[in-house]
């Protein structure tokens, strides 16, 4: 059995065990949930450390036939692209279970849903079968809706619940139609992603078919990732959600759509990808600018974070739109970094809300005096959000910009300016409003995280941000070979930086990739290409 | 003729008549328990069917009454389907018994007679048997619908069903007469041979359209859906449940046989008509369900939408589509019965089955709340439940045909729109159960043993079909091989 099966089996198995625990055994229920997510996290770390970056193909694979007549199978495995995502998902899930001490009613149902959601999330990122991939995602999505509805907060809870339910279901269904159409058109009789990829490399789909399926996937997945202008569900949804749900959804589940684009849409539909990517590049400016501008005007801190997460998705879209090794590597890096960051921010804002009962920035202030630990962590999260070097976000964003520069100069200039300046403005203003200035009397009684156990989830997430920020090669060394191997059909030929010295003939798009393309591409594009024109 | 071919029908009829006889000697208080006997008998017949009756191999179907009656894989699949549905409906009827003032044994017996009609319908290979089976079902349902004579709503439902049912019967008889007059045959096989030459005959096509109208009434597809909301709302809960699953499935098996056995050449030219019916039903059912406050009415409208989804599989005109219809119906059986069981048990004290009465259900009975939530999720097509895989198969069947005919793409997007709309009202039911603040009554709800068993069976069925779809899908694929 693959360790992946255990990683997603622990939460799902624990969910079944929880069914049998009487609802009055509160510590037991919480203990089971934390233990299961901890086991998943430990196993994920172990798998991440044992992962061999040099090996081609997938590792820790397991395949069990599910419905033979349709070519469905339970197939999990990791390569460089999703190994980091699984790790991030498992760590965030553990942190989310830890911060859920704020839930005081109907704990059994809450932890049950949390565990199902965790299992679904980890399954979605581990799956190598189109059907499994979608199945696990839906399995994670539905608990999200119920958790927002039952344990959510604020007056607009019901509206936000229905909005997020209908909007995300629409996105998921569009993607489902795209996936089925892909299966039907490929004619390989299998939902298995590696087999489909091999089949489609040998027999690419006609441009017409690709042109029909790709927008379905792009906008279906795009809705799930809050691609501008389909982002309106995100801020109200996250501000109404309980912190664990917001952490898991904004941090991990949302990345499903991006992962789907990189894993499925780009490699399997390369021609259409090349046609659509310039459009995506301009749309991502919508995320960066519009999301950022609206975030500047927010009065509620959670909504601000919601809009900032919309804005951050712009970086990932830009990296994907660049369609080159550096860009996509950076996109994956931002996905992982933003997962930790969003989980950290929503966890901290949940702590604030639990202490004060409000997140309205105007009513708060001076909290750093009362909350040295939480306040400091929040400040570090804000700096990470601004893209300060030392945090994983910086490494990811700068890589994305290097990648995007080769494809879209104007968009990259605008994105740099917009993202970095606007992001710094709203984040620093929020920090000033929350943590500095006079402390209103009403909040004289708020208490900091009392002991290590309460601090643990935040420390874990901060540590991850710093580790991957100071040493991003832990991730990039794994991501790059996988991207150049799996996404190769869609990658644009690299622009030779100095014609005449490094010039090499552009690879013929229609011809099969020469076997030495991957190492060559690897050498050409380090994370920081020294000779990019700038 | 081999009498064993008719064993299902004969056993069910004997059981029904036996019940009526036993009723003569039973004291009044014991009559309620007679329902358990009926359910047990139905269960034994189902067991007999599963253990003793072998699925006839392809091309070796058994015929009776000079080929009027056929026992092939398709018929057997549906016979077992109807037996299971009736078993659960009978358990539900016992639960409902205290709300039926008189003639309780007759109620059980009538359910069995309707079941016999459905069993005959599954085997119809001739317009005569088709008509006889449909009339047996419909006339029994006239009585079952208006069984609560002290309730005006029940009587109203009975009358509406009677009037519109009679109208649709008239259409159908007229259609059969036209078809017979031109083709000189009533048997499906004979018609398949004759229909090729009559494909251009307008009167013949008109006859076929009238027959389709009659069947459309049974499966509640737009524009023959007008009776559904009132009848669903007014009829006693077990009747509504049986109407929602049994009657619809009987309509579908007959539709499949007529379209693909009797007139396959003409059907091949009619995908657009079927698509139109399907799309209209999906939109109409889902849009009309949004404002409903009465749960049975809501399920009535959603039933229209589900008829539309099922027609997707028929409109695909492929074996995969037909297998998807059978699979979807199987999942629908557990889902519908789970929902109606909760309505029957949880809304015992409430007149009118108002949605608001479900408020606080999660505290009154966590099991019922969870069952209703699972049923709604399965209706909406959410994994890991049966409805999801059913919708997946239907969409796949439609998309497989799409490269040849672009209209299938429009139909797919229409179905998507319908599914998103339906999420709103299904999720609204979940909202009322779990986080509505208007709960007035918080007394726990007692659940009897057999009902608990029925609920567990429904949940297990929904989950099994959703998680391990392979088994039923293979059965469905084998069953539709009976249709060329």
Interface test with B, best of A165, A170, A175, A212 (most B CBs within 10 A): A165
Minimum CA–CA partner of B388 in chain A: A135
Q: Is the per-residue pLDDT at B58 higher than 80?
A: no
Of residues A149, A316, A109, the one with CA closest to residue A242: A149
Question: Contact A150/B434, CB-based, under 8 Å?
Answer: yes
pLDDT the model gives residue B200: 82
What's residue A528's pLDDT?
41
Residue-wise pLDDT for B341-366, tens only, equals 999 998 887 767 788 888 888 888 88
A520 touches chain B (CB under 8 A): no
Average pLDDT of the segment spanning B85-99 = 91
B405 shares contact with chain A (CB less than 8 Å): no
Which pLDDT tens digit goes with each residue over A91-115? 999 999 988 888 888 888 899 999 9
Chain B neighbors of A12, CB-CB under 8 A: none
The answer to whether B272 faces chain A, any CB pair under 8 Å, is no
Query: Does residue B160 sit within a domain?
Result: no
pLDDT at A183 over 70: yes
Bridge partners, B188 (sequence order): none
At A64, give phi and psi (nearest 5°): -130, 130
Helices (H), A55-192: 80-99, 107-126, 130-151, 157-186
pLDDT at B447: 87
Whether B403 contacts chain A with CB within 8 A: yes
Does any CB of chain B come closer than 8 Å to the CB of residue A70? Answer: yes
CA pair distance B84, B334, nearest whole angstrom = 10
Q: In the predicted model, is pLDDT for residue A533 greater than 50? A: no
Put simply, the chain A residues between 493 and 512 with a CB less than 8 A from any chain B CB are none
> Does some domain include residue B9?
no
Q: Chain B contacts of A173, Cβ < 8 Å? A: 416, 419-420
Greater model confidence, A1 or A282: A282
- Contact in structure between A468 and A392 (CB atoms under 8 Å): yes
Residue B345's alpha-carbon distances to B53, B231, B372, in angstroms, are 35, 20, 11
B230/A529: higher pLDDT: B230
Would you call A135 an interface residue with chain B, using a CB distance cutoff of 8 Å?
yes
**A158 touches A152 (CB < 8 A):** no
- Does the beta carbon of A74 lie under 8 angstroms from any beta carbon of chain B? no
Q: Between A and B, how many CB-CB pairs are < 8 A?
A: 72
Q: How long a stretch of residues is chain A?
A: 534
The ipTM is: 0.89
Per-residue pLDDT tens over the stretch B17-35: 999 999 888 888 888 889 9
Question: Could you give the C-alpha distances from B274 to B201, B209, B212, in angstroms and in order?
Answer: 20, 11, 10
Q: Is B359 on the interface with A (CB under 8 A)?
A: no
pLDDT by residue (tens digit) across A497-522? 444 444 444 444 444 444 444 444 44
Q: Cβ–Cβ of B384/A135 closer than 8 Å?
A: yes
CA dist., res. B242 & res. B91, Å (int): 12
Predicted local distance difference test score (pLDDT) of residue A499: 47
Burial of A1 (0-12, 13-18, 19+ CB in 10 A): exposed
Torsion of CA B441, B444, B445, B449, to 10 degrees: 180
Give me the residue from B377, B413, B473 closest to A67, CB to CB: B473
What percentage of chain B reaches a pLDDT higher than 90? 63
Report yes or no on B212 lying in a domain.
no
Please count the structural domains in chain B: 1
**CA atoms of A480 and A466, how far apart (whole Å):** 21
What pLDDT sits at residue A511?
A: 44
- For residue A145, the chain B residues in CB contact (below 8 A) are 427
Residue A532 in this model has a pLDDT that exceeds 80: no
Is the pLDDT at A416 greater than 60? The verdict is yes
CB contact at 8 A, A158 and A40: no
- What average pLDDT does this structure show over B127-136? 94
User: Do the chains contact at A184 and B396, CB–CB below 8 Å?
Assistant: yes
Q: What mean pLDDT comes out for the span A63-77? A: 88
Q: Is residue B431 part of a domain?
A: yes
Among chain B residues, CA nearest to A175: B416
Number of H helices, E strands in chain A: 24, 2
- The region of weakest confidence among A279-288, A360-369, B160-169 is A360-369
B210, part of any domain? no
Query: Residue B420 and residue A161: Cβ atoms within 8 Å?
Result: no
Are the C-beta atoms of B380 and B468 separated by less than 8 Å? no
For residue B386, give its domain range: 270-484
Contact call for A162 and B400, based on CB within 8 A: no
In a domain, B163, yes or no: no
Q: Please write down the HEC assignment for all residues of A387-456.
A: CCCCCHHHHHHHHHHHHHHHHCHHHHHHHHHHHHHHHHHHHHHHHHHHHCCCCCHHHCCCCCCCCHHHHH
Non-local (6+) Cβ contacts of A105 within 8 A are: A151
**B227 lies in some domain:** no
Give the confidence band of A492 by pLDDT, cuts at 50, 70, 90.
low
Decide if B381 is inside a domain: yes
Identify which of B384, B424, B434 has the shortest CB distance to residue A139.
Answer: B384
Confidence class for position A364, pLDDT limits 50, 70, 90: confident
Higher pLDDT, B119 or A419: B119
Predicted confidence at residue A442, as pLDDT, reads: 81
Q: What is the pLDDT of residues A236-254, one digit of tens each?
A: 888 889 989 999 999 899 9
Contact A69 B474 (CB under 8 A): yes
B395: which chain A residues are within 8 Å (Cβ-Cβ)? 176-177, 180
Chain B residue with Cα closest to A141: B382
Q: Which helix (H) or strand (E) holds A485?
A: helix A473-486
Q: Which member of B395, B470, B477 has the closest CB to residue A66? A: B470
Rounded Cα distance between B239 and A489, Å, is 59
Residue A507 backbone phi and psi in degrees, to 5: -65, 140
Give Cβ neighbours of residue A261 (< 8 Å, ≥ 6 apart): A217, A218, A221, A320
Q: Does B469 touch chain A (CB under 8 A)?
A: yes
- The mean pLDDT of chain A is 85
Quick one: DSSP state of residue A22?
-
User: Cβ A169–B431 below 8 Å, yes or no?
Assistant: no
Test B474 with A184 for CB contact under 8 angstroms: no
Q: So what's the pLDDT on residue B111?
A: 95
| pLDDT of res. A519 | 44
Q: How far is A189 from chain B (nearest CA, A)?
A: 12
**Residue B368: other Cβ atoms inside 10 A:** 23
**Residue A181 to residue B399, Cβ atoms within 8 A:** yes
Q: How many Cβ atoms from other residues are within 10 Å of residue B407's Cβ?
A: 16
* Nearest CB neighbour to B399, from listed A138, A165, A184: A184
A405-430: average pLDDT: 86
Could you tell me if A21 lies within 8 Å of chain B, comparing CB atoms? no
Count the neighbouring beta carbons within 10 Å of the beta carbon of residue B441: 12
Residue A360 sits at φ, ψ, to 5 deg, of -70, 120
Tell me whether residues A184 and B427 touch, CB distance under 8 A: no
Inter-chain touch B431–A149, beta carbons under 8 Å? yes
Residue range B390-440, pLDDT digits in tens = 999 999 999 998 888 888 999 999 999 999 999 999 999 998 888 877 777
Say whether A177 and B399 touch across the interface (CB within 8 A). yes
Top residue of A176, A210, A217, A240 to mutate, by most chain B CBs within 10 Å, is A176
Give pLDDT tens digits for B102-131.
888 899 999 999 999 999 999 999 999 999
Closest by alpha carbon to B393, among B457, B310, B337?
B310
**Element (H or E) spanning A353, and its range?**
helix A325-356
In this predicted structure, the answer to whether residue A11 has a pLDDT above a threshold of 80 is: yes
**pLDDT at position A132 over 50:** yes
Residue pLDDT, tens place only, B156-202: 999 999 999 999 999 999 999 999 999 888 999 888 888 778 878 88
Percent of chain A past pLDDT 90, that is, above it, reads 33
Is the CB of residue A183 less than 8 Å away from at least one CB of chain B? Answer: yes
What pTM was estimated for this model as a whole?
0.90
* A170/B420 touch (CB, cutoff 8 Å), yes or no: yes
Which of helix, strand or coil describes residue A521?
helix
Pick from A67, A69, A162: which is nearest to B424 by CB?
A: A162
The closest CB to that of B399, out of A68, A173, A180, belongs to: A180
What is the spatial distance between Cα A381 and Cα A251, in angstroms, rounded to a whole number? 13
Looking up tokens 């409906």 gives: B89
DSSP state of A79: -
Residues of A with Cβ-Cβ distance to B419 under 8 angstroms: 169, 173
Residues of chain A contacting B420 with CB distance shorter than 8 Å:
166, 169-170, 173
Asked which of A33-37, A480-484, B283-287, B452-456 is least confident by mean pLDDT, the reply is A480-484
Cα radius of gyration (chain A): 22
Chain A nearest-CA residue for B415:
A173
Yes or no: say if B146 and B157 are a contact pair by the CB < 8 Å rule. Answer: yes
Contacts of B472 in chain A (CB under 8 A): none
In this prediction, residue A414 has a pLDDT band, given cuts at 50, 70 and 90, of: confident
């Amino acid at each position: 059995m693959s360790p992946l099966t255990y990683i997603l089996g622990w939460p799902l198995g624990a969910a079944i065990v929880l069914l049998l625990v009487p609802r009055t055994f509160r510590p037991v229920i919480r203990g089971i949930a934390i233990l299961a997510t901890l086991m998943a996290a430990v196993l994920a770390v172990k798998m991440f450390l044992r992962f061999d970056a040099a090996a081609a193909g997938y590792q820790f694979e397991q395949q069990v036939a599910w419905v033979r007549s349709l070519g469905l199978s339970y197939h999990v495995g990791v390569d460089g692209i999703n190994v980091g995502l699984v790790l991030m998902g498992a760590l965030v899930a553990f942190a989310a279970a830890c911060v859920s001490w704020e839930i005081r009613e109907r704990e059994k149902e809450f932890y049950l849903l949390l565990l199902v959601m965790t299992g679904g999330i980890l399954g979605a990122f581990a799956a190598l079968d189109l059907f499994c991939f979608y199945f696990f995602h839906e399995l994670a999505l539905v608990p999200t809706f119920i958790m927002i509805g039952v344990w959510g907060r604020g007056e607009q809870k019901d509206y936000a619940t229905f909005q997020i339910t209908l909007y995300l279901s629409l996105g998921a269904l569009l993607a489902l139609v795209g996936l089925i159409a892909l299966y039907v058109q490929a004619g390989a009789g299998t939902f298995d992603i590696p087999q489909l990829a091999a089949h489609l490399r040998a027999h690419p789909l006609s441009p017409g078919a690709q042109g029909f399926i790709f927008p379905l996937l792009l906008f279906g997945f795009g809705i799930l990732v809050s691609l501008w202008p389909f982002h309106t569900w995100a801020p109200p949804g996250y501000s109404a959600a309980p912190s664990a749900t917001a952490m898991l959804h904004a941090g991990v589940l949302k990345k499903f759509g991006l992962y789907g684009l990189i894993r499925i849409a780009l490699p399997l539909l390369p021609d259409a990808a090349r046609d659509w990517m310039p459009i995506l590049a301009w749309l991502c400016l919508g995320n960066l600018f519009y999301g950022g501008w609206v975030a500047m005007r927010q009065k509620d801190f959670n909504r601000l974070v919601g809009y900032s997460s919309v804005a951050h998705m712009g970086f990932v879209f830009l990296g994907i739109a660049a369609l080159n090794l550096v860009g996509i590597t950076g996109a994956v890096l931002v996905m992982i970094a933003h997962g930790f960051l969003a989980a950290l921010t929503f966890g901290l804002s949940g702590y604030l809300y639990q202490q004060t009962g409000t997140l309205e920035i105007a009513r708060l202030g001076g909290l750093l005096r009362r909350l040295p630990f939480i306040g400091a962590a929040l400040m570090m999260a804000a700096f990470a959000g601004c893209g300060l070097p030392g945090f994983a976000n910086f490494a990811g964003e700068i890589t994305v910009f290097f990648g995007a520069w080769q494809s879209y100069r104007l968009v990259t200039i605008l994105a740099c300016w917009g993202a970095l300046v606007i992001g710094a403005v709203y984040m620093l203003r929020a920090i000033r409003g929350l943590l500095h200035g006079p402390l209103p009397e009403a909040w004289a009684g708020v208490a900091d995280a009392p002991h290590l156990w309460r601090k643990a989830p935040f420390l874990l997430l901060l540590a991850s941000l710093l580790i991957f920020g100071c040493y991003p090669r832990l991730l990039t060394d794994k991501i790059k070979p996988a991207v150049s191997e799996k996404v190769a059909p869609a990658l644009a030929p690299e622009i030779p930086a100095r014609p005449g010295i490094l010039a090499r003939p552009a690879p013929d798009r229609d011809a099969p990739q020469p076997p030495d393309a991957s190492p060559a591409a690897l050498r050409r594009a380090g994370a920081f290409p020294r000779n990019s024109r700038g | 003729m081999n009498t064993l071919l008719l064993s299902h029908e004969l056993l069910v009829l004997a059981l029904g008549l036996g019940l009526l006889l036993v009723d003569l000697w039973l004291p009044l208080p014991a009559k309620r328990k007679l329902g358990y006997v009926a359910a047990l008998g139905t269960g034994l017949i189902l067991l007999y069917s599963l253990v003793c009756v072998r699925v006839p191999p392809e091309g070796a179907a058994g015929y009776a009454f000079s080929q009027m009656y056929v026992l092939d894989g398709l018929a057997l699949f549906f016979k077992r389907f109807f037996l299971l549905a009736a078993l659960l409906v009978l358990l539900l009827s016992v639960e409902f018994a205290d709300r039926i003032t008189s003639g309780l044994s007759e109620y059980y017996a009538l359910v069995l007679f309707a079941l016999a009609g459905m069993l005959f319908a599954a085997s119809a290979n001739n317009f005569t048997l088709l008509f006889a089976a449909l009339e047996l079902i419909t006339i029994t349902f006239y009585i079952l619908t208006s069984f609560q004579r002290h309730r005006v709503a029940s009587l109203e439902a009975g009358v509406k069903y009677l009037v519109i049912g009679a109208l649709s019967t008239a259409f159908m008889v007229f259609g059969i007469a036209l078809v017979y007059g031109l083709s000189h045959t009533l048997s499906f096989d004979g018609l398949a041979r004759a229909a090729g030459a009559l494909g251009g005959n307008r009167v013949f096509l008109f006859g076929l359209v009238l027959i389709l109208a009659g069947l459309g009434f049974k499966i509640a597809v737009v524009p023959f859906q007008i009776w559904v909301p009132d009848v669903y709302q007014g009829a006693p809960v077990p009747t509504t449940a049986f109407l929602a699953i049994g009657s619809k499935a009987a309509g579908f098996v007959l539709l499949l046989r007529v379209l693909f056995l009797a007139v396959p050449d003409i059907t091949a030219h009619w995908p657009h008509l079927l698509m139109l019916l399907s799309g209209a039903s999906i939109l109409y059912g889902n849009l009309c369900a949004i404002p409903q406050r009465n749960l049975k009415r809501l399920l009535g409208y959603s039933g229209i939408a589900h008829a539309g989804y099922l027609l997707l599989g028929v409109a695909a005109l492929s074996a995969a589509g037909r297998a998807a219809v059978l699979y979807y119906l199987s999942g629908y059986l557990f889902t519908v019965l789970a929902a109606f069981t909760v309505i029957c048990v949880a809304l015992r004290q409430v007149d009118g089955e108002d949605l608001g009465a479900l408020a606080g259900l999660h505290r009154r009975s966590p099991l019922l709340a969870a069952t209703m939530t699972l049923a709604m999720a399965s209706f909406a097509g959410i994994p890991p439940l049966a409805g999801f895989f059913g919708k997946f198969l239907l969409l796949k069947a439609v998309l497989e045909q799409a490269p040849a005919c672009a209209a299938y793409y429009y139909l797919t997007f229409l179905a998507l729109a319908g599914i998103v709309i339906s999420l709103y009202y299904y999720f609204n039911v979940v909202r009322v159960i779990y986080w509505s603040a208007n709960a007035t009554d918080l007394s726990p709800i007692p659940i009897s043993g057999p009902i608990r068993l029925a609920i567990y069976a429904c949940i297990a069925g929904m989950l099994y079909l959703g998680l391990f779809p392979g088994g039923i899908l293979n059965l469905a694929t084998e069953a539709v091989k009976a249709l060329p």
